[in-house]
Structure 1
């Protein structure tokens, strides 16, 4: 069953999907992913662009962020994010960091693609237009995390790094951590070259039973492959100790569903960005 459930919205509300089973099971937890509708952006950024780095009007982006924060159950002051660089740095978000990056790029966590916190009232966010959003929740120690995983972050194993950071910082045990893999470009649309595949084979080597056939398939173009980044991240999570039954994985492809999502590849690089979010509401 699809874990990312579209919210029935009224006119003017931000399009969004929530991890409904998590929110039902764990009161106070809010986790989801935005769509592209219900915002104030125009043109290439129509309408719920949530990123400041793509050339959109910063005031419009801030208004869109405030609107999504409210819909997710937070104030705009709770919105906290990093400057993503397709690497594996994971930053620990404390009470004093609340709101970093919400209205400008300079105050965001720099060179950061992963965020973790155990502080209620902080809304962790990150941005996407085909890359893979990864979600982490430890219900025992009440800690949450997000990671942004393009192909570079995936093969550098940011999923593993985030799990290790939660273990080090909060005492999280992998078998207790719930994870989710959100809307991103699917194997149906994501064609890569042999250089990328060489990095993939460092993680999932060729051979019977290795799982490589679940991660990649030959393209119709020689020396190119169709890569399943979602499955690759799932394999990395399992290797890090996450129970397979604790991994939720979406079926949405952002390229196939460009009516619902921004897609960097489908729209030739000029487009807006969705946001993932996770946080524990203040009681």
Structure 2
């Protein structure tokens, strides 16, 4: 199994997550007291991971890494791929190996699959809803991620059909209202970023009269914040293709189609990573 993401250390993630669950460094920690006291050291178990609800799957390579870390000789078969949409009751992984090891890794493996599949599933729901308003608008995620999990959560949004916006503070300027307040105006804030050689420059505007100053100063992308579909259409007409346009703020499953239909290039949704519910994915073991 090969799973690699830029900026993500898989081995460190697996080790630190399992260490947290095992209580490494805590008084009396460093072990799974339940498995060690209940399960014979040589016992073997076979298990099936399945989805109890319709979901878009994400995180199976990570689950496999958890199991293999504690039992390198275990046998694992992934029955679907990350990004697949599956029906309720679908088996997604089969595994066989040392019972103690697999039971110790079970919760960490399930947690990551449930969390990432929940994000991927919500992203796909938003893409489907958006398509009712526009065939060309692209769904974007945001930086509203859990600390330490951004790379994985943004991986999950991609599995659901979204596109990553900024990965962090380093890869694009994002001029928001507080930056404008300190700089003095939209135009001045954009000019400073341009003169510093920053590319690309994304600028938030919440009024139509801010559009021309932002474009004139060199903005590459306008974030049209909390605008109604009618105002978005007017903004898109004013921009006239000179920069990319993004609808942001107040977007949910009920509003995304109308906002996408305004003609914007993108719709961004923070709740994809901020509040997606965990998918109902379980793991049932059977003795070998």
Q: Which has the greater radius of gyration?
A: 2
TM-score (norm 2): 0.26
Task: Identify the structure with the greater helix proportion.
Answer: 2
Task: Identify the structure with the greater strand proportion.
Answer: 1
